[in-house]
Amino acid sequence: MARHEAGVFRISPRLLEQPGDPRVTVYHFGPAGDDTVRMVGFGRDGTLWAGTRRGLYRWNGGSDFSPVVGFEVNRLEEALDGHILMPNSKGYVEWDGARTVDHPEVAQQLGLRPHQVFQVFPDRRLRRAAISGARFVAVGSNAEVVHSASARTRKIDLASKTVLPGFNDAHAHPVESGVQHLRKVACDTDSIDKIKAALHERALKTPPGEWVLGFLYDDGKTVRPINRHDLDEAVPDRPVFVQHRGGHTAFVNSLAPQLARVNDQTPEPAGGPFEHDAGGHLTGFVGDAGMQAFLKLIPNKNTRDDYRQGAALISKLFASEGVTSACDADAVPEDVQGYQDARDAGELTMRMYCHVSAASLDHFMNAGIHTGFGDEWVRIGGVKQYADGSISERTAWLSQPYVGIPNKYVGLQLSSREQLCETGRKAHAADWQLATHANGDLGIDRILGVYEQIQKELPKKDPRFRIEHCTLLTDTLIQRMRALQVIPAPFSCYVYFHGDVMHFYGQERTRHMFPMRSFLDAGLRPTDSSDYTASPADPMMWLQSQLTRTDMKGNVWGPNQRITLQDSIVAARATAPTRPLRKI
């Protein structure tokens, strides 16, 4: 017996009488109904697969099973890319949805011994693994793997080192950051003087009237935040725009506000400040919506090849840290094209799942595209919206004021409930996954209300709603997430990398921030991520942060949220866009 979206059905080796329960349907195989079923399982799209003596059959809700391949199938598994893998008497056979690919060498190109392969499920350690091309095709004990090695098998002794699966960065901005590396000044240093020197050097090479652009700056790492006077000293005759590595705030020199027609008396836009000092003068700091007055003046000179190079550059960087797949959390069409071009050029070294920006949603919808479109290397994800601001830049929307910031400041709201509902409802109805940035408890409360309303109006069996970052939680919010089975996509490494700003939240509040232990205890399936460039794409930093909850200086923030190494690796491997084959 098996349950499926269409109800309950029975798989049988031969045609039987219809059971009395009208929900139960009997299926049979072969012209005489005498083909024995060896293996049954569900694919991630709900398709049911049956391996039999005569071949592989597929059922997706029609009146009968359709034959796919015509040889004995005793075991079948589904790879992350959706391909069906069938070890059998012919060796190792892969079916990609249109054709089969034989691997007669039984896929034992590598045998690793003695060593440990850390198998995420179940909780045990394995001694050997076999790899063919880019895939693990066998793992197990020495006895389970060694018999399939051939004379051509290349063996590597890892001398008791541990092998981990490739990591998944569930929220990052690879193409955008790659193009920034190509075009902008890297300001990732704790020295304001070094930042000024780097900007000055770039200004000498910049034509008059053009902008000098910096990125990767972190005001938590310098002795004080950089300001317009620092930038005036570095570059007095060209506009300067230096973006915080978190992406939600920036710092400008005095010439930039003049060009943007922003002065000390200019009203702040909703959702973003123009910061003033005690004398009422602009400091040069601008946040979220406030950045738009400047960004609209900066011409986009990026070419299609820049996006390809950016994708190739960052995928190489990520792969060097063990990240083999990632989610681009806010892609525009040019970004997706960059991934595709890098893939076609053989330069993309990690698999990409691309959330598209809400501003680009109509572009993709008009082309008939929705979540899931693509191939194993570049696939379309959800639609990205923003409820509030940033943790590292102190613009997340909180129910209680920040510690040490005047005027009972509680952060920024970036979208109204009505805006989130309108876009979310349209996308949900068109089979898009919803993925919304929300850091503070008020931002999370708002988007959960939107998800609850949309699911009530347009119910779907498994909408796979995501909350990006999902930082500050309460028990009530977690229970609401559990009811909807919302996927939290936090960046646990912030405890370590951005520990220098945790004092703005306070010890008690950090007990409920990046709450990996609470997520797991509630039965949720959190991912992990870097939000690069916001923090490094370094899985070892993620694991350290989750196990210790300490920052660079040894301060401990929220020790009650520590989790085990096993749980940390599971989170760092979680591929939220997909679901595994369910064996019966």
List the CATH number of the domain containing 238.
Answer: 3.10.310.70
Does residue 220 belong to any structural domain of this protein?
A: yes
Q: Are residues 73 and 114 in the same domain?
A: no
Among residues 81, 100, 119, which one ends one of the domains? 100
Q: Are residues 19 and 63 in the same domain?
A: yes
Burial 411-428 (b: 16+ CB within 10 A, else e): bbbbbeeeebbebbbbbb
Q: Are residues 204 and 286 in the same domain?
A: yes
The model's pLDDT over 387-413, given as tens digits with 9 standing for 90+, comes to 999 999 999 999 999 999 999 999 999
With cut-offs at 50, 70 and 90, classify the pLDDT of residue 286: very high
Give dist(CA 333, CA 348) in Å, integer.
Answer: 17
Q: Please give the pLDDT value at position 149.
A: 67
Quote the mean pLDDT of the chain.
84
Q: Is the pLDDT of residue 187 over 50?
A: yes
Q: Are residues 96 and 114 in the same domain?
A: no
Does residue 446 belong to any structural domain of this protein?
A: no
The model's pLDDT over 326-382, given as tens digits with 9 standing for 90+, comes to 999 999 999 999 999 999 999 999 999 999 999 999 999 999 999 999 999 999 999
Q: Mean pLDDT, to the nearest integer, of 195-223?
A: 97
Q: Is the pLDDT of residue 6 over 90?
A: no
CB 397 within 8 A of CB 436: no
Does residue 253 belong to any structural domain of this protein?
A: yes
Does residue 492 belong to any structural domain of this protein?
A: no
Q: Is the pLDDT of residue 162 over 70?
A: yes
Among residues 118, 137, 163, which one ends one of the domains? 163
Q: Please give the pLDDT value at position 115.
A: 40
Does residue 371 belong to any structural domain of this protein?
A: no
Does residue 365 belong to any structural domain of this protein?
A: no
Q: Are residues 155 and 199 in the same domain?
A: no
Q: What is the DSSP string of 401-441?
A: PPTT-TTT----B-S-HHHHHHHHHHHHHTTPPEEEEE-SH
> Which of 170, 220, 507 has the alpha carbon at shortest distance from 391?
220
Q: Is the pLDDT of residue 55 over 90?
A: no
Question: Range of 204's domain?
Answer: 178-295
Q: Which residues, including other chains, have CB under 8 Å from residue 8's CB and lie 6 or more apart?
A: 1, 2, 21, 23, 24
Q: Are residues 83 and 127 in the same domain?
A: no
Q: Are residues 92 and 117 in the same domain?
A: no
Q: Is the pLDDT of residue 109 over 90?
A: no
Does residue 256 belong to any structural domain of this protein?
A: yes
Q: Is the pLDDT of residue 33 over 80?
A: no
Number of folded domains that form the chain? 3
Does residue 573 belong to any structural domain of this protein?
A: no
Q: Are residues 250 and 211 in the same domain?
A: yes
Q: Please give the pLDDT value at position 46.
A: 59
CATH classification at residue 13? 2.20.25
Q: Please give the pLDDT value at position 583.
A: 31
Q: Please give the pLDDT value at position 14.
A: 35
Q: Are residues 95 and 117 in the same domain?
A: no
Q: How buried is residue 490: exposed, middle or buried, by Cβ count under 10 Å (0-12/13-18/19+)?
A: buried
479, amino acid identity: Q
Q: Are residues 131 and 85 in the same domain?
A: no
Q: Are residues 193 and 257 in the same domain?
A: yes
CB 132 within 8 A of CB 125: no
Give dist(CA 321, CA 536) in Å, integer.
Answer: 10
CB 26 within 8 A of CB 15: yes
Q: Please give the pLDDT value at position 393.
A: 96
With cut-offs at 50, 70 and 90, classify the pLDDT of residue 22: very low
With cut-offs at 50, 70 and 90, classify the pLDDT of residue 266: very high
Q: Are residues 183 and 260 in the same domain?
A: yes
Q: Please give the pLDDT value at position 131.
A: 74
Between residues 258 and 271, the one the model is more confident about: 258
Q: Is the pLDDT of residue 2 over 60?
A: no
Among residues 228, 261, 295, which one ends one of the domains? 295
CATH classification at residue 116? 2.30.40.10
Q: Please give the pLDDT value at position 574.
A: 60
Between residues 581 and 500, the one the model is more confident about: 500
Q: Mean pLDDT, to the nearest integer, of 459-463?
A: 93
Q: Mean pLDDT, to the nearest integer, of 229-253?
A: 97
